[in-house]
Amino acid sequence: MRRVAVIGAGAAGSMAAIFAASAGAQTLLLERTEDGGRKILISGGGRCNILPARVDESRFVTDSSPNILRKLVRSWPLHEQILFFEGELGLALVEEKESAKLFPASNRARDVRDGLLALAVRKGATLLTRTRVTGFAPSAAGWRIDREGAPPLEADAVVVATGGLSVPNTGSDGLGLKAVEALGHTVHPTYAALTPITAEHPPFARLAGVSLAVTLSARAGDRAATSTGGFLFTHRGYSGPAVLDVSHVAVRSRSGTGPPARLLVRWTRLGEKEWESVLRSGGARTVAGALRAELPDRLAGALLETARVDPARLLSDLRRDERLRVTETLARSPLPWTGDEGYKKAEVTGGGVSLAEINPRTMESRIHPGLYLCGEMLDAFGPIGGYNFLWAWATGRAAGLGAARTS
């Protein structure tokens, strides 16, 4: 019987163990914490956004081959993943219409984590918690897995699902990335992705707690990203899905030699032409009243202050230069920023093992036979909304099936 060791009992690792054991392999699932799957537990505010309701492959980010990335995403289509969770795990999924996200009907992330680990055990995997792996390497018998305070383990195949560097208090420490790089793999530079943006002496600090939907764009050289979604003012800067989705451009610009990324906000659903029409409509309405029809009161006041326009000014009295300043502030407002929250609050790690160095069908290393990589180890991530779980489920499944094969 083929012996498979899966290192890491998170999203990708638990899925790898399920499918390796289902395929008949003698499967060990090794987890350094006392329970595993801690990122699952904190995802979606404790609700676990299992999957996106629809998939746009172009929203994934990678420095590797986009073609290989598409193959991996398509290896386990969304509708089949939904059937797995509802059929194999018995978790009914419901769509949150406004966000196009799928959650368990129970709204309990613990049901997802516990369900995956329980299924792995039912399929025949052995779960070993509080097992700190210190390294792994090829051996005469296949692969040797070294453990802290315990004898080494031997396996025919190793699935590395140790994640990246994001949210270190869940157990992520970058061990797997360091180990496979030492084994000769190309690891593209890692960076915090899907992380809040900060601003020293933030000009909007008094708006902390105000939230709304915006369109936010970030550009730095040839890197660019745009996202429409929730935006939240914080005491340290900005957060919310729109901010997290473009944060990687800002983060990477800080480590480069060029200027920092430029962030621009369209604060409402209306563009410049629509706002020009609103502001030219005249009448006895004040400019503040016009803005408050589309914006939270406090933000409307702050933006008019930025535009240097009296909130009490009547639309009929607005000069052309005032209209131009207001429309530009509303539709293309620079967002001042100075930093980011880093890995501590990053939802995922950008960068990772080059996709060119794995077999996209089996997830096996092209450098070391018997070594399989999946999940956040790999150079790819998606936006907020279940994309990164979809990636973990798909690559974990492929790695588990690949590792269980005897030829």
Whole-number Å distance between alpha carbons of 112 and 106: 10
User: Do both 157 and 112 map to the same domain?
Assistant: yes
Residues shown for the chain: 407
Contact present, 32 and 131 (Cβ < 8 Å): yes
Class of residue 261 by CB neighbours under 10 A (exposed 0-12, middle 13-18, buried 19+): buried
- Is the pLDDT confidence value at 9 over 70? yes
The single-letter DSSP state of residue 400 is: H
Instruction: Kindly report the CATH number assigned to the domain that includes residue 173.
Output: 3.50.50.60
User: Do both 23 and 164 map to the same domain?
Assistant: yes
Confidence bin at 167 (pLDDT 50/70/90)? confident
Confidence bin at 171 (pLDDT 50/70/90)? confident
Whole-number Å distance between alpha carbons of 240 and 22: 39
SS3 111: helix
Which pLDDT score is estimated for 202?
A: 74
- Mean pLDDT computed over 393-399: 98
User: Do both 300 and 394 map to the same domain?
Assistant: no
- Is the pLDDT confidence value at 327 over 90? yes
Q: Does a structural domain hold residue 232?
A: yes
Cα radius of gyration rounded to whole Å, the chain: 24
Contact present, 314 and 172 (Cβ < 8 Å): no
- Mean pLDDT computed over 126-145: 95
SS3 292: helix
User: Do both 68 and 134 map to the same domain?
Assistant: yes
Confidence bin at 381 (pLDDT 50/70/90)? very high
- Mean pLDDT computed over 207-231: 96
Which pLDDT score is estimated for 282?
A: 76
Whole-number Å distance between alpha carbons of 282 and 300: 19
Task: Determine the straight-line distance between the first and last CA of the chain, rounded to whole angstroms.
Answer: 12
Confidence bin at 407 (pLDDT 50/70/90)? low
Strand partners, 146: 135
**What residues have CB less than 8 Å from 58, skipping those under 6 apart?**
none
Q: Nearest Cα to 304, choosing from 323, 320, 285?
A: 323
- Mean pLDDT computed over 211-230: 97
Confidence bin at 105 (pLDDT 50/70/90)? very high
Which pLDDT score is estimated for 174?
A: 85
Which pLDDT score is estimated for 169?
A: 76
- Mean pLDDT computed over 384-404: 97
- Mean pLDDT computed over 66-88: 97
Share of the chain above pLDDT 70, in %: 100
Q: Nearest Cα to 48, choosing from 116, 9, 104, 114?
A: 104
- The residue among 287, 309, 340 that closes a domain is 340
Question: Which runs of consecutive H residues, i.e. helices, occur in 183-333?
Answer: 241-255, 272-279, 287-292, 297-307, 320-331
Angle between helices 297-307 and 320-331 (to 10 degrees): 130
Contact present, 374 and 34 (Cβ < 8 Å): no
Instruction: Kindly report the CATH number assigned to the domain that includes residue 309.
Output: 1.10.8.50
Task: Report the number of distinct structural domains present in the chain.
Answer: 2
Q: Does a structural domain hold residue 281?
A: yes
Q: Nearest Cα to 65, choosing from 353, 388, 349, 399?
A: 353
Three-state SS string over 109-126 comes to HHHHHHHHHHHHHHCCCE
Q: How far is residue 22 from each of residues 11, 97, 118, 162, 407, measured CA to CA in Å?
A: 17, 34, 13, 21, 17
- Is the pLDDT confidence value at 256 over 80? no
Q: Does a structural domain hold residue 20?
A: yes
CA angle at 121 for the pair 38 and 128, rounded to the nearest 5°: 60
Mean pLDDT lowest among 66-80, 162-176, 270-284, 316-330:
162-176
- The residue among 319, 340, 361 that closes a domain is 340
- Is the pLDDT confidence value at 288 over 70? yes
User: Do both 20 and 164 map to the same domain?
Assistant: yes
Q: State the average pLDDT for the chain.
A: 95
Range of the domain at 216: 196-340
Taking each continuous run of H as one helix and of E as one strand, the counts in the chain are 12, 20
- Mean pLDDT computed over 132-142: 94
Q: Does a structural domain hold residue 345?
A: no
User: Do both 332 and 208 map to the same domain?
Assistant: yes
- Is the pLDDT confidence value at 257 over 90? no
Confidence bin at 291 (pLDDT 50/70/90)? very high
- The structure tokens 């090829």 sit at 138
Which pLDDT score is estimated for 51?
A: 98
Which pLDDT score is estimated for 173?
A: 81
pLDDT, tens digit, 9 for 90 and up, residues 151-161: 999 999 999 99
User: Do both 292 and 354 map to the same domain?
Assistant: no
- Is the pLDDT confidence value at 198 over 80? yes
pLDDT, tens digit, 9 for 90 and up, residues 335-375: 999 999 999 999 999 999 999 999 999 999 999 999 999 99
Which pLDDT score is estimated for 110?
A: 97
Contact present, 275 and 327 (Cβ < 8 Å): yes
| Residue 13: CB atoms within 10 Å | 31
